[in-house]
Amino acid sequence: MKWIRLMCLVAVAGQLAGSGAAADHTPPNPESNSSSPQLPPVLRSSEPPDSTQITLPGPPRAASPLKKITAVPPVAKLAPLPRKLVEDASLRQPLPRPVVAPAPLKPDPLLEIGHEVAAYCQKQIGHWKESDARQLLGKPKRQRPAYDEKRVVNGTIYAFTDPTSEYKELELDFESQSGSLRTVFVYPPRLSWQECRRLWNGPVAAADAAQGRKFYSYTNRRLDVLVDPAGQVISLGWY
């Protein structure tokens, strides 16, 4: 019984294979090679062959690092300014600064005076005013009135620093009426009366002064010397 069923299935499969072969049979291509094997229908492709080529997209193209330079538009010409604005602008310009001459250099007292300030100032008696002394010696340290024999004020004595440092101090006496230099006083640091006589010889007239001092006046030169009781010179007065 099983054998009969198998025989029936084989007969049916053969009929089906024959009908499929008749339906898929195509006339042979004369250009094709007769020796190439024919594929069975079950292995043949049911879709027609592709007739076009497809290009797959590649990576995105890198942008150029250089930017495109656009043309610069021409500068528009500006209309000329009104005349009034031009004149106002010229008036607002700063005025040129005046040229200021440099201040004159102050003279060097040492070059002007030399080594002996007393002898130099003695030559200025009758010529110098107070302003002349200030210009060369600077501002005075102090001042005091000058008296005549009757104890009447007739002048002003100004004390200056000796630029040569030879004397402790320098005093200039200016007359009240004329304002001219009248007497020069210097105060030596160490000078005895004997040394003074060796420096300036000649006859002298002596007179007593207050506090046991002596006042000597040379008769052959314009020089007065005040000496303390110990014989040390206090001041030299040139007139």
pLDDT of residue 137: 92
pLDDT single digits (tens) 113-127: 877 899 999 999 999
Q: Is 160 within a domain?
A: yes
Residue 68 lies in a domain: no
Q: Which domain holds residue 192?
A: 109-238
pTM confidence score: 0.55
Q: Is 24 a domain residue?
A: no
Query: pLDDT digits over 167-193, tens only?
Result: 999 999 999 999 999 999 999 999 999
Single-letter residue type at 21 = A
Q: Is 125 inside any structural domain?
A: yes
CB 169 within 8 A of CB 161: yes
| Region for residue 39 given its phi and psi (left: phi exceeds 0; alpha: psi -120 to 50; beta: otherwise) | beta
Residue 122 belongs to a domain: yes
Q: How far is the C-alpha of 223 from the C-alpha of 199, rounded, in Å?
A: 12
Residue 13 lies in a domain: no
Over range 8-12, report the average pLDDT: 59
Give the pLDDT confidence of 76-121 residue by residue, as tens digits: 666 665 665 555 555 556 666 777 766 666 667 667 787 789 999 9
Half-sphere exposure of 179 (CA within 13 A, CB side): 5
In a domain, 4, yes or no: no
Any idea what DSSP says for residue 41?
A: G
Phi, psi of 112 (to 5 degrees): -80, -40
Domain count, the chain: 1
Q: How many residues does the chain have?
A: 239
Neighbours of 130 (CB within 10 A): 16
Asked whether residue 86 is assigned to any structural domain, the reply reads no
